[in-house]
Amino acid sequence: MKIDVTKHLTLGAKRTLKAFRVAMFDALSEKDFDRITVNDICKKSEYPRATFYNYFDDKLDLLEYLWSYIGKNILDQISSTQHNKNNLVKIFNLLVDFFEENPALLANIKKSDGSNSHLWHNMSGYLKHEANIIVYKNYADKNSVALPAPLVSRFYSDLIIGLLEWYLFEEPNADKETADKYLINLLTGNF
């Protein structure tokens, strides 16, 4: 991204980013990512291409910003003081809630070959990366001799995203409570 969103943004920059974010999100709910053009995004956001290119290199750059925004909103809801497996379940539930609140996006992903789609791989890869960082910071025992912390965090983040993929694409009729039980059983080794 051409703009550092971690620094203070003007009100105008915030509005512009929101307009592009909403435009991309709407476009993703309507058609495949590969068919979305910068012109589509600019038309939906009501900003010219020049403004788009002031903020982003291309539509993939905007997509990564969209995932980071979604990931940040989800992960901001996780307690950084509680370091237990219930927070891992909460991360999973927040991800499920996101897709339940955005059925058009999920329908588009399913229509585009589901868990094999480019859009899903891009999104789940980003979410897995973010979950890995959060788990490493908050849950992995960095002093443990038995297992290296990066391995533990990777295991937990892979487990959360793997269960989400199972829930969304392989068993779409499963309920969230059942998925939560499966996650707890997997976390505790109770097979």
Instruction: Quick: pLDDT tens for 46-80.
Output: 999 999 999 999 999 999 899 888 887 877 787 66
pLDDT digits 0-9 by tens, 122-175: 888 888 887 777 777 766 556 666 777 788 888 888 999 999 999 999 998 899
Q: How confident is the model at residue 190 (pLDDT cuts 50, 70, 90)?
A: confident
Q: Is the pLDDT of residue 114 over 70?
A: yes
The answer to whether position 6 is within a domain reads no
Compute the average pLDDT of residues 31-43: 93
Q: What is the pLDDT of residue 36?
A: 94
The pLDDT mean for the chain works out to: 86
Q: Is the pLDDT of residue 115 over 90?
A: no
Q: Is the pLDDT of residue 83 over 60?
A: no
Q: What is the pLDDT of residue 80?
A: 60
Q: What is the pLDDT of residue 176?
A: 94
59 and 81 both lie in a single domain? no
91 and 170 both lie in a single domain? yes
Radius of gyration of the chain (CA): 18
> Smallest Cα–Cα separation from 70: which of 94, 100, 42?
94
Q: Is the pLDDT of residue 178 over 90?
A: yes
Check if the beta carbon of residue 105 is closer than 8 Å to that of residue 99: yes
53 and 128 both lie in a single domain? no
Q: Is the pLDDT of residue 97 over 70?
A: yes
95 and 154 both lie in a single domain? yes
| Distance separating alpha carbons of residues 147 and 22, to the nearest angstrom | 42
Q: How many structural domains comprise the chain?
A: 2
131 and 183 both lie in a single domain? yes
Q: What is the pLDDT of residue 138?
A: 66
Q: What is the pLDDT of residue 74?
A: 78
83 and 41 both lie in a single domain? no
Q: Name 100's Cβ contacts closer than 8 Å, sequence gap at least 6.
A: none
The whole domain housing 20 covers 11-63
CA distances from 191 to 60, 165, 175, 184, 186 (A): 40, 19, 19, 10, 7
Q: What is the pLDDT of residue 131?
A: 75
The answer to whether position 35 is within a domain reads yes
90 and 165 both lie in a single domain? yes
The answer to whether position 177 is within a domain reads yes
Say which range, 34-43, 69-78, 100-109, 138-147, has the weakest mean pLDDT: 138-147
59 and 139 both lie in a single domain? no
| Distance separating alpha carbons of residues 25 and 83, to the nearest angstrom | 32
